[in-house]
Structure 1
């Protein structure tokens, strides 16, 4: 009979890459770990691992077993979490992902807080790059993703729906020559070093910024240090360059960063939602709330 302990031990061994490291992580003796795997193979009546002097490899059967065991453990954990929330009178947990350029600020958080309080739900939120969110949602590990448009990597079962737009602003260090202006034209940034540049196969904020710069006759020049994360504001504060960022990122900016409005029109950026329709009534209602429909 296969036990949950054996499944957990087996998955940990595969993910750790060695018996010794898995034993350390699980706080069990390596000999006990080895014995549990042998008993697991006896119960399954297949060889799951081929063992060498210093390493092991998954057999084809072992790879199939690992994928299934990991799914089973994940589903069990989700069931336990949902059960605990039900015991507290809560409807369930909504698992939300957001990219680093989507600051958890108004109007987003107002809609989220209102829905959670009105529906007795809880939120589990994590930061993840937009290119990985679609895979997580399609495979059921997460419910909702929040990203900056454009999204280039598409998944058949995942919908992409715009939620709201906001204005882009120029972020500069406090000592920068432009920091005291009320507004600046994008074309005036031609010679400025940018701490965020687009990746050829990805979308998101940096792609939108490059698109805006090219519309004004130039491609953003790279600073000495660049970042695609929220750390780009720290690079700006350090005087390494400038960035065009959503206005909402003012709420998470370091003290040494100043924001200048952009003159002209069509300097906006859009936040979109990734989700699979029909996952649950709770998630569908949450999606509608993000749209401002409830």
Structure 2
């Protein structure tokens, strides 16, 4: 028994006429009658009986009609679902994200834009560091990543969405709080807290290497995984830490202060990452387009390009 036999049968049942069913199906009446006869022989029951110039369903035929309709509806739904997944309209996408960036970064804007574009696609957000995201992308356990660093792997594509200056976070009671500007040499005798090296290796390396280049040795007294715990230790004046200016807006609810470190010159980025081989996948393509749409960095570049002064300078160069 084939699906087309079920479709033929349901059409005949609805039309109660082989002739009208053949016209509706765009097939010849004789082969249609023969296929229904084969179906009855295969099932071992009679599905139709004559009635005037047409036909009517037997009791077995009526029962089979409902089952056949249900089977065809299930098949159609399965086909639609498969097409929806292939076209990026259905399914679930798993996104890895850097902890501590959820509310102050562009992630929420990205998720909202993606939800508007693909309302029937489920989203699962999994907290993980950039390094963990890259491994998960290679293994195929996530489809998209959102973190603080760009990968140096050609197998992974990436887009920098935002960039924010890294500075010093400290308590209002700290001795450096009275200064509007801070230099790395001012931190040489301070207790410095950082988030774990294994999760943020580049941040550690960048901060410590920059300090050493200025002849300063920073004393990292602890690595604290939980951002709230890190902020709490800074609040009580136990130590200082580094945080981007944007994230300080969240921390400012705890009365903490943020100061630029004049000779640090480091930025914390917001980067989305995906497998390069998935560039053409509908869901990944939609996420990339949404990231471009809400990226503060790209929006700023677009605003500058539209600026009359910038346009005039470009014309003058020509």
- Tell me the TM-score normalised to structure 2 length: 0.55
Q: Distance in 2 between matches of 1:273 and 1:143?
A: 11
Q: Give the corresponding residue for 1:52.
A: none
1:63 aligns to what? none
* Residues 107 and 146, structure 2, Cα contact 8 Å, conserved in 1: no
Which whole-Å CA distance do the structure 2 matches of 1:179 and 1:267 have between them? 21
Unaligned residue ranges in structure 2 (runs of 5+): 1-77, 300-318
Higher helix share: 2
1:99 CA displacement: 2.1
In 2 relative to 1, CA 144–207 (structure 1 residues): closer, same or farther, beyond 3 Å?
Answer: farther
Tell me, in whole angstroms, the C-alpha distance in 1 between the residues paired with 2:209 and 2:198: 12
Matching residue of 1:259: 258
Of 207, 210, 213 in structure 1, the residue corresponding to residue 211 of structure 2 is 213
Q: Does residue 142 in structure 1 map to residue 142 in structure 2?
A: yes
Mapping 1:63-78, distance limit 5 Å: none
Structure 2 counterpart of 1:27? none
Given that residues 169 and 257 in structure 2 are in contact (C-alpha distance below 8 angstroms), is that contact kept between their aligned partners in structure 1? yes
Report the Cα offset of residue 172 of structure 1.
0.8
CA contact (8 A) 1:97 1:133 kept: yes
Match of 1:226 in 2: 223
**Matched residues in 1 for 2:113 and 2:206: separation?**
30
Aligned residue in 2 for 1:118: 117
Structure showing greater Rg = 2
Tell whether 2:290 aligns with 1:289. yes
Q: Report the secondary structure of 1:273's partner residue.
A: strand
- Aligned 8 A contact 2:104 2:250 in 1: no
- CA positional deviation for 1:101: 5.0
Q: Secondary structure at the match of 2:170?
A: strand
Deviations 1:46-82, CA, capped at 9 Å, x for gaps: xxxxxxxxxxxxxxxxxxxxxxxxxxxxxxxxx9xx9
Superposed displacement of residue 198, structure 1: 6.8
Q: CA deviation at 1:241?
A: 1.0
- Cα 1:208–1:290 change in 2 (3 A) is farther
Is the aligned partner of 1:184 residue 2:182? yes
Work out whether residues 169 and 259 of structure 1, in 8 Å CA contact, stay in contact via their aligned partners in 2. Answer: yes
Contact 1:161 1:273 in 2 (8 A): yes
**SS class of match (1:183):** coil
Structure 1 residues without counterparts, runs of 5 or longer: 1-78
The count of residues paired between Structure 1 and Structure 2 equals 208
TM-score, length-scaled by structure 1: 0.58
Is the 2:145–2:274 contact (alpha carbons within 8 Å) kept by the matching residues of 1?
Answer: yes
- Per the alignment, do residues 91 and 240 of structure 1 end up closer, same or farther by CA in structure 2, a change over 3 Å counting? same
Asked if the contact 1:143–1:283 (Cα under 8 Å) also holds between the matched residues in 2, the reply is yes
1:219, 1:260 → 2: CA distance?
A: 19
